[in-house]
Structures are given as C-alpha cells and as structure tokens.
Structure 1
C-alpha cells in the first residue's frame, strides 16, 4: 500500500487555518487536529491532567476535573517558563496521539493526511515528518479583528497571543504553499482547498 502524503497545515491565530483544514477534509483528506487532541488530553480524565496538577497545583484543575483553560492561558502568556512547562507536558501526548491517528488513517486507505498544527514552525520538530507545509496567511490586523470578534477578547489580549507565535515571515519561509486568506470569500477559500487537494492526489 502506498504511503499517504503527510501535509502540515499551519497559520497564526485567526488566519482561517482550521477552516481550510475542514475544507481539505471534505475533499477526502484525513485531518489530524492538534488543538482537538490537546483539548482531549486536558479534559476531565485526560492523559495530561495528572502531570498538570503535579506541575501547577490543584488550582490548575477546574471543578469538572479539566485543566482550567482561562487560568492556564493567562499564566502561559505571562510566563514563558510556565508556557514551556505546560507545552512539555501536553505536546508529547499530541505528537503520540496524532501519529496513532495517522497510522489508522493510512490503514483506512486515506491518500493524504493533513496535520493541523498551530505551532508547527515554533516546535521545530515536525518538518522531518512532513512531505509539504501549507501556510494560511493574512495581515496581522485581520487576525486581530477576527479573534476579537470570535473570542470576545480585547486587542491587547490578542496581541499577547500573537507575540508568542512565529512571525508571518517565519511561517512563510517554512511554506511549500501559501494560501492568502485576506479579503476573500469562503467560496474562494474552498477553491484553494480544491486546488491543494488535487496536488495531494485527492
């Protein structure tokens, strides 16, 4: 059986990366969503909960037994050391489970597997596992407006998130293909997804 194409999909917060990933999935790709896996391992009973409690104390866990996302988000964006500590707990689980899902997708006959990885460039460890990297790009101002509207965050809070992510230049430099998602319709974005799907043999 031929090995499926492994595609990394990334972009800054508010770029539309997840939307493009879902469109590629609708074209027949298997989609590995790193954020969804991270949420699952930090949910009640999740694989990372015990280590998070040990590292950050019981206050890091909410009344449902899940990681207290608001508390940990604030801590992570105010302390690079805490962010690195949290990533060191969660990211190995994300890698392990996404690779298991990819093996399952390959066994099911998928010809392309898309790894939706917000911090693909920042991690420095995905490049050797991928056949191509697709970057969804838009202006910083567009990112800020989208996230403010979607998440109800203040501009300063969105900027703090952006400051922890790779620059647009760094992401574009890592790309094999760039989709500019600025001022275009969903239909136009879907057109980009269709073109990419053809390139990936779908």
Structure 2
C-alpha cells in the first residue's frame, strides 16, 4: 500500500513519520532525498550552482541551505526554478526506493509539498498532519530560532491548511501531547494494515 504523508511546516509531520517507521512502515523521506540529490559532488548541486551561482555554496562546497532558503521562500520564480532542478531527481530516487520495498508493506512517502506538487491522487491513502498556524509559528520561533516574519513567510509559501485537509484520507490533529499524537498514529496504522 502506498501512503502519502504531508503536513505544513512545524506541524509534527516528521514525528509522525518516525512513529510510522517504528510501527513497521517503510518510510521514504522527501526532505532526506532532496538533501541527497544536491549533496556535494552531485549533478544536482552542479545544476543548482549553474542556475543560482556559486554564492549558494558554503566555503566547503556544500549547498548553503539557509541562504538558498532565504532566496527561494521570498521569490516564487526562484523557488519554481529550484523545484524544477530538484523535483525530477527526487522522483527518480523515490522510484528506486519504492521498487526495493516489500510488495506487501506499507510504504509511506513523507512529502512536505504533496499538495503543492498535485500528487495526492497517486496514493492509496493520504495522511495529513495538521496544526493551527499560531502553533506552527510558535514552534518555528521556539525550536528553529526564526522570527515570526520568517515563520509566516514559510507558511505562506506552502499550501493552506484547508488545501491539505481536503486531500486527507486520515487527518491527524497535532495539538496535544506526544502521547496523544502517538495514539492517533497507531490508530491510523492499524486501520491501514487491517
């Protein structure tokens, strides 16, 4: 079974992903793959440098993620240009990992921008992790050291809560404790495996 997992920034999607992995799902993480495909020495990083310039590199030749993030989350055209480079490489890697998963397993595709990429219909089920905007902002300021303006800019660059909720087969509200979240994830996983 192919399951899409998504949620807004700082919604708790990564925690849900970890719990699903603990429960036995094969988790394919888009963010991890997105980092892999632009790692030092890859054709992906070379394409990013060609498109955006060598100033997007750290002194040791890695992608300067904070600098790139500051650029693309404030400039729609730049973000689309970056996605045009990274997304095809990510999809290729996804296909490889999915082909290697057990045929009878639950394969969870952890995709932050699932709704934005228009891919929800590709999955047998979609899990959406949701939290109110105020909660997301509070978490980004507290946990990532961002300003409220930076947090709101990241949220504005993503699909709205309503757009994500509309594609949800399963909606997990992450406004309680970690134990509450774990209980909700276990319920969803048990339903998926039933």
- What is the TM-score when the length of structure 2 is the normalising length? 0.96
Count of residue correspondences: 194
Residue aligned with 2:193, SS: coil
Q: 1:110-149 alignment to 2 at 5 Å?
A: 111-124=105-118, 126-149=119-142
- Of the candidates 36, 39, 53, which is equivalent to residue 40 of structure 1? 36
Q: Within 1, Cα distance between the matches of 2:120 and 2:179? A: 30
Deviations 1:34-64 (A, max 9, x none): 0011111122123411101111111122222
Moved more, 92-101 or 154-163: 92-101
Q: 1:127 to 1:155 in 2, by over 3 A?
A: same
The alpha-carbon deviation at position 110 of structure 1 amounts to 5.4
**Preserved contact between residue 8 and residue 134 of structure 1 (Cα < 8 Å):** yes
- Of the candidates 79, 90, 96, which is equivalent to residue 94 of structure 1? 90
- Of the candidates 183, 186, 202, which is equivalent to residue 178 of structure 2? 186
The alpha-carbon deviation at position 127 of structure 1 amounts to 2.5
Deviations 1:115-172 (A, max 9, x none): 1100000011x23421011100111000000111111000000000001000111100
Q: 1:63 to 1:110 in 2, by over 3 A?
A: farther
Structure 1 segments unaligned to the other structure (5+ residues): none
Q: Within 2, Cα distance between the matches of 1:197 and 1:113? A: 11
Structure 2 segments unaligned to the other structure (5+ residues): none
> Is the aligned partner of 1:171 residue 2:164?
yes
**Preserved contact between residue 29 and residue 113 of structure 1 (Cα < 8 Å):** yes
**Preserved contact between residue 28 and residue 110 of structure 1 (Cα < 8 Å):** no
Q: Within 2, Cα distance between the matches of 1:114 and 1:99? A: 13
Deviations 1:64-106 (A, max 9, x none): 2221111111110221110000010011111111121111113
